[in-house]
A and B are shown apart, each in its own frame.
Chain A
């Protein structure tokens, strides 16, 4: 690592600034401030952790600024943390900007002590200075600068003026290497480190050998793996054991003791407590987390926020649908017809591509408002409280409390729910939650239930629909338990969560966050949706005679296929003459509410009459009976989620996992619907037995895929 040169020239091209610090200390705020609007968001190679990169123009040239995921320590436990650690220790960083929350100094400085040891040029931004003053603290940043021998600048990231101060700071500060010897360790430990650092071979270690040993003692073995032979490692472990029995404590505990001892020393010298203030956050929490009020308040907050998001979203959906339908489908068709293009081109472009674009567009309002609300919940600090309250529910499934929220979102729409799993830190938790989210019956499935219950159970429609929702929740829990013991067996993460003080959510920050997630949906998930809608639309339009424009009539290829596969659904009560239901299930994959439209339009074509509003129910009664109607609802509840949801899942988990999820859901849907129908009405127990065998087979397959999934999750 040739940092010396860079240090002399201060700022040069190819200069990489890494923003490192605890979660929630203001890194992203500072990042947004200093990079302005010009930033790129991508993923870290190979993983889905967001990577934010921007440029900072300095008189000496342009610097690359990287916003790292928040970490409490260099010992990484989650994927995000690994990404941050690997970046910091990968030899790429020219300057570490350690953002420190000055209102929470002690804990933030823990990471600082570790960063200093990396021996990379470093500066400290004492952020949230306003909050520390509010808290009654008076911090002598100049003394701190002297004690730590790295530049320290107190700032308030929200304040515009400080923005310039930060830039000036980067330009003017004599940037020195980090001060390495922060800790004076017990002699035995020093001797051990000195002895073994001479035995470590320097294999692509970007960090100092002694530092690699400290990392090892603190529980991160990755840095010594290739630099010490197996024999020597054994010998060293033996010595560590002896050392620990001599010092009467595990070495990681000793190191932490010394780090915090050092920090206490710094804080005693630099921080004066001027007044003790009872924090407003603590007072709010006294109510919000109250033993009796906590859960009701949580439910009200969730109901209001997601109710607001769904209502507002759905309000715009119809406008978006009509407008983009007109723009992408009708106008496009009109235009093509005007140019007297052949029918197949019109079908492909207007009904295929146009309809795909229309589908993507109709999701925009819902996703926008959902993310808007989620960002407010996150930014204000309430999300952490929600996790605190719901953790008990999730613990038995082996998930953190936070995963409750995406599930709630799922009752509105599966797509934003899947994307909301981003708020979870661990991949395993994200994947498991994504598998469970589709069981939360989304708004688009409701019309199907409503129509069928109105036809068969007009008296008790509320109860019937409720039973379906409840079934979904029960199956989600069972799925969680199954996955915990099969596919995602990996070790369950312990739950350590900070309750950050409440912040007033900032509009600009939230809009930026919301826009980023929305853009991600449009450009990444959108591509998949477009392709799939195109393919399905194409087969819907294509007739068996090779003609086009056969949407939802009985000449369409999709219809023909639908007729052919109807026998598959016979065990759940769909008779051959009810093939429109099968086609409906296919088009339901476009969007769940499309199932109903397809079915009614096909029924009316068969019956050769236009259906009046009043006769739809009678029509449905001709094709279903109460039991098959209920079985059909079960199927619709569980089977493969819509294309947009699949695309979102694909974006989060990759192709194989998404495929596995759709197969799992569709099989389970068939099993559930069949068992219900045969037990309740059909009494052909052969099918029940077959279903049970299928279920067993599924469980075994999921178990045997555990190893593969484990690798995927750890990637």
Chain B
């Protein structure tokens, strides 16, 4: 699932990137959207787009269709982390 399918205030973890513009990905990476980073969708703009997310203690806005390259899973830890949260949830949708 990707960043845009989430409900506001759900805690998620970035798992990777879908193929897409390398330039855009580079900017996201610089902003700290690396694998294993926790993100929270704060809100959508009044007209549904863009999205406001929180990560690493700051807030960022991304457009829905552009942000769709960010893959996430619900929860607090990356699947590879020591707590092994991911196995249980891998492949599950966030609804």
Q: Give the interface of A toward B (CB within 8 A).
A: 72-73, 75, 77, 103-107, 110-111, 135, 218-219, 249-250, 252-253, 256-257, 260, 282, 285, 289-292, 294-295, 388-389, 391-393, 395, 401, 494-499
Contact = CB atoms under 8 A, between A and B. Distances in A.
B10 interface: no
Given A253-B17, A498-B59, A72 B43 contact: no
Contacts of B49: 391-392, 395
Given A75-B30, A110-B32, A494 B60 contact: no
17 contacts: A75-B27, A77-B27, A105-B57, A219-B23, A219-B26, A256-B29, A257-B34, A257-B36, A391-B49, A392-B45, A392-B50, A401-B50, A494-B27, A494-B63, A495-B66, A496-B28, A496-B61
Contacts of A111: 30
Contact of B29 (A252, A282, A295, A497): A252
A219 B62 contact: no
Contact of A295 (B46, B62, B63, B66): B46
B61 A110 contact: no
B80 to A, nearest CB: 11
Interface in B31-67: 31-32, 34-37, 42-50, 52, 56-63, 66
Interface residues of B, number: 37
B26 A75 contact: yes
Nearest to B47: A392
Given A496-B28, A498-B60, A253 B46 contact: no
B32 A391 contact: no
Complex A-B, nearest 8 residue pairs according to Cβ-Cβ distance, in ascending order: A73-B30, A256-B29, A392-B47, A294-B46, A499-B59, A219-B26, A106-B56, A72-B30
B59 to A, nearest CB: 4
A256 B46 CA distance: 33
Interface of B: 16-17, 21-32, 34-37, 42-50, 52, 56-63, 66
A285 B25 CA distance: 27
Contact of A391 (B31, B37, B50): B50
B15 to A, nearest CB: 11
Given A250-B25, A388-B52, A499-B61, 5 more contacts: A75-B27, A260-B37, A295-B47, A391-B45, A499-B58
Contacts of B43: 289, 291
Contact of B45 (A135, A252, A253, A388): A388
A215 to B, nearest CB: 11
A23 B77 CA distance: 30
A253 B71 CA distance: 13
B48 A72 contact: no
A168 B63 CA distance: 45
Contacts of B48: 392
A73 B47 contact: no
A219 B30 CA distance: 12
Contacts of B32: 106-107, 110, 260
Given A219-B23, A497-B61, A499-B59, A291 B34 contact: no
Contacts of A494: 21, 23-24, 27, 63, 66
Contacts of B52: 285, 289, 388, 499
Contacts of A499: 52, 58-61
Contacts of B24: 494, 496
A295 B34 CA distance: 33
A708 to B, nearest CB: 24
Contacts of B42: 285
A112 B50 CA distance: 29
Contacts of B60: 496-499
Contacts of A72: 27, 30-31
A495 B63 contact: yes
Contact of A253 (B21, B29, B63, B66): B29
Contacts of B36: 257
- Most central of A218, A257, A389, A495 by chain B CB within 10 Å: A495
B57 A106 contact: yes
